[in-house]
């Protein structure tokens, strides 16, 4: 793999962001996008424990996305306070997401603002992502094809990104938004040789920083510390919104349907297709 370091910028305006990053579809870290947010200093672990510690949240272990029984279901539920104590105590693969804290605590929305750096920010409640030290998020791209601004509040995250053009070299699993490479931290190059040719980006996002991931970008995330962020999404293009809708249909109708009918054989078929594509592309 060839990974380039992602640039850090402060003071970008709409024009310079558009010219240098949005149009060329290049990732960037803003060091000042969250500066005006109350949340930047207010949303500490202590704050969440004291104000929202009683909320019952779904918690996921590394097993959650493995195909088969219990696919995509939470491993357990617990009060937020208990979950935060676990991630403070040391390494754990437990993550917490797909829980919309803003539905339970809409007043939290006053603590951050929709960025003005571009148009098209999606108005529904955004999602927060929490994870323990050492936990990771499988290599994937976002099904709705929006641009993602990942704003980090607590802890550091190591992020590896690949542009959509690299889908073949990173073994895009057809009909899904995932890669066939499930252990991306220790990839098996014998099984996935084209990965050596993949060109992407890497960075460590620090608290107070915002990572811009352009539409369709692949991301693999490792939590270097226990921590959390909020992902704000934007999609200013009707064409891209339509593409997202098609992705969602393909996933929920074709992939889930075939999983039900064929089970593990469907997984194997998808991996075979991805391998053949990588082989063809690389001669």
Ligand X SMILES: O=C(O)CCC(=O)C(=O)O
User: Contact residues for Fe ion (CB under 5 A)?
Assistant: 142
Q: Which does 12 bind (CB under 5 to 8 A by kind): ligand X, Fe ion, none?
A: none
The CA distance from 209 to 33, in Å, is 7
The CA distance from 56 to 50, in Å, is 14
Conformation bin of residue 225: beta by default, left when phi > 0, alpha when psi is -120 to 50: beta
CB of 36 to Fe ion, least distance (A): 25
Four-point Cα dihedral 84, 159, 117, 31, nearest 10 = 80
CB of 131 to ligand X, least distance (A): 5
- Tell me how far apart the terminal alpha carbons of the chain are, to the nearest angstrom: 18
Which is closer to ligand X, CB of 94 or CB of 137?
A: 137
Which is closer to Fe ion, CB of 132 or CB of 216?
A: 216
The CA distance from 4 to 26, in Å, is 11
- Eight-class DSSP state of 172: B
Give, as ranges, the residues between 90 and 129 that touch ligand X (CB under 6 A): 129
Q: Which does 60 bind (CB under 5 to 8 A by kind): ligand X, Fe ion, none?
A: none
The CA distance from 158 to 225, in Å, is 10
CB of 221 to ligand X, least distance (A): 5
Among 49, 147, 172, 219, the residue binding ligand X under the rule CB under 6 A is 219
Judged by DSSP in three states, 52 sits in helix
CB of 103 to Fe ion, least distance (A): 20
Give, as ranges, the residues between 229 and 268 that touch ligand X (CB under 6 A): 229, 231
Q: Are strands 227-234 and 127-131 parallel, antiparallel or unpaired?
A: antiparallel
Which is closer to ligand X, CB of 92 or CB of 229?
A: 229
CB of 137 to Fe ion, least distance (A): 7
Give, as ranges, the residues between 147 and 166 that touch ligand X (CB under 6 A): 148, 150
Q: Which does 166 bind (CB under 5 to 8 A by kind): Fe ion, ligand X, none?
A: none
Query: Which residues are CB-neighbours of 208 under 8 A, at least 6 positions away?
Result: 31, 34, 40, 152
Q: Which does 198 bind (CB under 5 to 8 A by kind): ligand X, Fe ion, none?
A: none
Instruction: Single out the segment in contact with ligand X by CB under 6 A; choices: 40-48, 71-79, 142-150, 259-267.
Output: 142-150
CB of 140 to ligand X, least distance (A): 7
- By CB atoms closer than 10 A (0-12, 13-18, 19+), residue 15 is exposed
List interacting residues with ligand X (CB under 6 A). Answer: 129, 131, 137, 142, 148, 150, 219, 221, 229, 231
């Amino acid at each position: 793999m060839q990974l380039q370091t992602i640039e850090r910028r402060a003071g970008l305006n709409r024009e310079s962001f558009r010219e240098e990053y949005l149009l060329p579809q290049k990732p960037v870290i803003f060091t000042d996008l969250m500066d005006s947010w109350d949340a930047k200093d207010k949303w500490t672990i202590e704050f969440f424990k004291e104000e929202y510690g009683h909320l019952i949240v779904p918690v996921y272990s590394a097993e959650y996305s493995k195909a088969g029984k219990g696919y995509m279901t939470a491993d357990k539920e617990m009060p937020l306070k208990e979950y935060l104590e676990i991630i403070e105590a040391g390494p754990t693969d437990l993550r917490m997401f797909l829980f919309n804290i803003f539905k339970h605590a809409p007043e939290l929305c006053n603590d951050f603002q929709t960025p003005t750096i571009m148009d098209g920010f999606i108005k529904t409640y955004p999602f927060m992502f929490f994870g323990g030290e050492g936990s990771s998020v499988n290599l994937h791209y976002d099904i709705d094809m929006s641009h993602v601004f990942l704003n980090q509040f607590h802890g550091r995250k190591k992020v590896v990104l690949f542009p959509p053009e690299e889908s073949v070299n990173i073994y895009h699993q057809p009909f899904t938004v995932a890669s066939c490479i499930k252990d991306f931290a220790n990839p098996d190059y014998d099984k996935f040789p084209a990965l050596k040719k993949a060109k992407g980006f890497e960075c460590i996002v620090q608290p107070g920083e915002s990572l811009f991931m352009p539409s369709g970008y692949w991301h693999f995330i490792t939590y270097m510390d226990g921590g959390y962020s909020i992902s704000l999404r934007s999609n200013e293009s009707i064409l891209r919104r339509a593409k997202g809708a098609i992705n969602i249909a393909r996933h929920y109708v074709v992939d889930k349907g075939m999983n039900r009918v064929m089970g593990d054989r469907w997984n194997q078929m998808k991996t075979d297709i991805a391998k053949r594509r990588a082989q063809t592309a690389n001669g």
